[in-house]
Amino acid sequence: MDKRAKKILFSTYWKNGWIDNSQRTITRDDFQYAKEKGLMFDPLTTTHDRCLHDIIAMLSDITVDLVATAFLSSLSSRRLDLRSGLASYFIAKQLTPHVYTPVLNGQSYDLDGNITHTSYTCGVCRDLKYGIIGRENYHDIDLNVLNFERIKWGGVRHGALDYTLFDLQQLRLADIPQPSADDVSILNAILATIAASKPDDYPSMLEKNLATVIKSTKDERKVLIEILACIGVLQPRSYERPSRGKHDWTYVTYWRGEDKFNPDAVSQYFGRYL
C-alpha cells in the first residue's frame, strides 16, 4: 500500500478524530495521486438492482479460501482492509437475485406530529439474515470514506449493500499474502481466549480479553469480534437474551461467554491452517 496515498486518504477524514464534512479538503493533485494508487475513487452512482447483480456476479471469482486467507494474513500485519472481506463475503452469499421491493424503514416528525420525512429500504434484503440495508438508488456515494474505514478499522458498514459491493471489489484486486506462522498463532490465541471466556461474559469483556492477544486498538478488536460473529464463529445459542447498557454491537449482540466458539465455522474457514 502506497504510504503517501494512504496519508492523503487518512488526512482527508481524520485528525485525532473525524474531520467535519465542512472542513474536509483535498487538492486535485493529491486526489489524483491517491486515485492512481488505488486508494481514492470517484463517487459511485448505481441502483439496488445493479449493485445486487454486480455482487452476485463477483461471487464466482471469490472463494471461501480467498477471504479466509486474506483475513488470516491480516492478523499480524494489521492490514485491516484485508480483514473486512470475510464478513462481506458471508453477507453476499445470503443474497439472491431480486428486484428492489420497497418497505417502510422509518419516519421523522415535526413538533406538531406531522411527517417530515419517510425512508424506505428493500424488504427482501431486510428480511435476510442480519438484515441487509438496500436502498433503491445510490447517488454520488463517497467510496473514499468507505475505504478509509476499511483500512483504519476493518470496515464498519458491513451489511450495507453498497459497502458489500465495494469491499469485495477491492478484495478481488488485492495482492493477498499467504498467512505466516505468526498469523496462525494469533488465531489460535484468539480462539483460546474465546474458549476461556466466563459463562456470563458479554462481548465487551471479550474485547478487553483480546487486548493482550493481538496488537490492536479497541475499535479494531470490536470490528474483529463483529466479523467473527457475522460468519458464525461467535454464534449465540439464544437470541432471547437481554442487552445490558448502551452498546453498538450488531452481529455479536446476543453472544455470551458460555457459547464459546463454533468449531464447525472455524473448520469451514480456517481448517486448512489449523
Confidence bin at 82 (pLDDT 50/70/90) = very high
Instruction: Give the model's pLDDT for residue 244.
Output: 76
All three cell numbers of 219: 475499535
Q: At what angle do helices 161-173 and 143-153 cross, to 10 degrees?
A: 70
> Is the per-residue pLDDT at 240 higher than 80?
yes
Mean pLDDT lowest among 1-10, 104-113, 136-145, 178-187: 104-113
Domain boundary assignment for the chain: 1-40, 42-178, 181-271
Confidence bin at 131 (pLDDT 50/70/90) = confident
The C-alpha atoms of residue 57 and residue 45 are separated, in whole angstroms, by 18
Tens of pLDDT, residues 191-214 = 999 999 999 999 999 999 999 999
- Which residue carries 450495507 as its cell? 160
Instruction: Give the model's pLDDT for residue 157.
Output: 93
Q: What are phi and psi of 196, to 5 degrees?
A: -90, 0
Instruction: Give the model's pLDDT for residue 85.
Output: 96
Tens of pLDDT, residues 243-260 = 777 788 999 999 999 999
Q: Are 223 and 156 in contact (CB under 8 A)?
A: yes
Residue 159: exposure state from Cβ atoms within 10 A (0-12, 13-18, ≥19): buried
Q: Locate the DSSP E strands across 84-158.
A: 102-109, 115-122, 137-141
Q: Are 4 and 18 in contact (CB under 8 A)?
A: no
Instruction: Tell me the CA distances in angstroms from 171 to 85, 151, 175, 185, 239, one per residue in order.
Output: 6, 12, 8, 24, 32
Confidence bin at 59 (pLDDT 50/70/90) = very high
